[in-house]
Each structure stands twice: as structure tokens, then as C-alpha cells.
Chains A and B, each alone.
Chain A
Amino acid sequence: ETGVTQTPRHLVMGMTNKKSLKCEQHLGHNAMYWYKQSAKKPLELMFVYNFKEQTENNSVPSRFSPECPNSSHLFLHLHTLQPEDSALYLCASSQISTSPYEQYFGPGTRLTVT
């Protein structure tokens, strides 16, 4: 248990569906992240939020829409996804004022787009 929870753990959706992934951190951190993990590829950073403000969008298609209502919660809204978007989506958090700012990861949501 890392202090970061994600729901759902598994999600199957069609290309016309709309769904949301949820992440919650119980560590009092001030930064949260979304990553995509595909087979045989490195973890890819998607979005970064510092103090609820989005500080990075790593060229992510608009069919992925993040939301950070407060420093403990992070959502990833999904719509009109493609089969190549099937992957493990990991949420992480860190305390950016405390070196070494290591990130704590949630268990991920395994997404399958049909």
C-alpha cells in the first residue's frame, strides 16, 4: 500500500464510450501525475499538476482530459478512445518541496479499448 489509490482497477470500454479514472492520494503531497504504461515501452508522462494547477501536458491527445479539483484527487476523463490507447494508466504523487521528490505510484487502471 503506497498511499495512492486508483479506481477502477480494470476498465473495458468501447470507442464511443465516456468514462473517468479516479486517483486519490493520502500522503499530503502537493503534486500529482498521470502516466501511461504500454507493453515494451517506457512509462510515459501525460499530465502534471502542482498545487492543483496543470503545469505540463505532454502532447496528449484531447480525448484525454485531466481534472484536479484539489491536491488529493485527480481524474482522467476519457472519450472516443482508440484501441491503441489500451494500456495501464498510473497515477503518482510527490511532495515537490522535499528532496528527493520521489513519486509514489498507485496500482494503476488496466484499460482495454474495444
Chain B
Amino acid sequence: GQNIDQPTEMTATEGAIVQINCTYQTSGFNGLFWYQQHAGEAPTFLSYNVLDGLEEKGRFSSFLSRSKGYSYLLLKELQMKDSASYLCAVRDLGRGSQGNLIFGKGTKLSVKP
């Protein structure tokens, strides 16, 4: 079956670094996505990994290890506006013709002054 796990909540301090982990089990892995969702707003696309390694995009980086079924999202120089839920999602080719996304429950990050 499919399963995606990520911590429910995390707290960090403004200016610090935080790492949000995601582990997954799928039958037909074809890419992992991270989305950010502020309360009451739409999820917005942050990053995509399909090969092992680190993808860096400004203050945000995402890492993937396919052999371990593991990814993390790294947020540097945290700002108050980074307080949001972070959703890990895996594209599973066993789900739909082009592979539909399976989402984790999301990690609610609170950034404190």
C-alpha cells in the first residue's frame, strides 16, 4: 500500500534552520513534491525531487533518498512568514495513468520571534 509520514507539528526560532522530514512507501515512485500551505490559503508548490540528492532553491532545499524512502525540506534563515503547513506528496505510477499524488498529513511549522 501507500503511506507517507511526516511530523505533525514543529516549532523553530526566527533566523534559525529547520528540517522537516518525510518518509514514504509507494509501489510506483515517480517523484516527490513539497507544498507550502498558509492557513486558509491554497497549497503552493515549493520543490520537486525525482533523483537522489539535494535541490536548492533560495532559502529552501529539498533532499531525496529513493533507497531509503526518505526526503527532507530544509528551511534556512527562518522568517515569521514561513509559519505554515508543509505538505509532502509522492507521485505514484500505480495510481492513475499519469501517476496521481499521495499526500502526507502535513507538518505545521510555527516560527517564533
Residues of A within 8 A of B (CB): 2, 4, 31, 33, 40-43, 45, 48, 50, 55-56, 90, 96, 100-108
Query: Which 10 interchain pairs have the tightest Cβ spacing?
Result: A43-B103, A105-B42, A100-B48, A42-B103, A102-B45, A107-B42, A105-B43, A96-B98, A42-B105, A56-B96
| A residues near B103, Cβ cutoff 8 Å | 42-43
Q: B107 to chain A: closest CB distance in Å? A: 12
Bound: A67/B42 CA distance, A: 22
Bound: A104/B97 CA distance, A: 19
Bound: A101/B100 CA distance, A: 10
Given contacts A55-B96, A56-B96, contact A100 B43 (CB under 8 A): no
Evaluate contact between A105 and B44: CB separation under 8 angstroms: yes
| A residues near B95, Cβ cutoff 8 Å | 56
Given contacts A90-B42, A90-B43, contact A102 B48 (CB under 8 A): yes
| B residues near A101, Cβ cutoff 8 Å | 91, 98-99
We find that the number of chain B residues with CB closer than 8 angstroms to chain A is 27
Q: B92 to chain A: closest CB distance in Å? A: 11
| A residues near B43, Cβ cutoff 8 Å | 43, 90, 105
- Chosen A-B contacts, 9 in total, with CB atoms closer than 8 Å, are A43-B43, A45-B100, A48-B100, A50-B97, A55-B97, A90-B42, A100-B31, A101-B99, A107-B41
Interface of A is mostly: loop
Bound: A42/B41 CA distance, A: 16
CB < 8 Å neighbour of B98 from A31, A105, A106: A31
Evaluate contact between B105 and A41: CB separation under 8 angstroms: yes
Bound: A42/B2 CA distance, A: 12
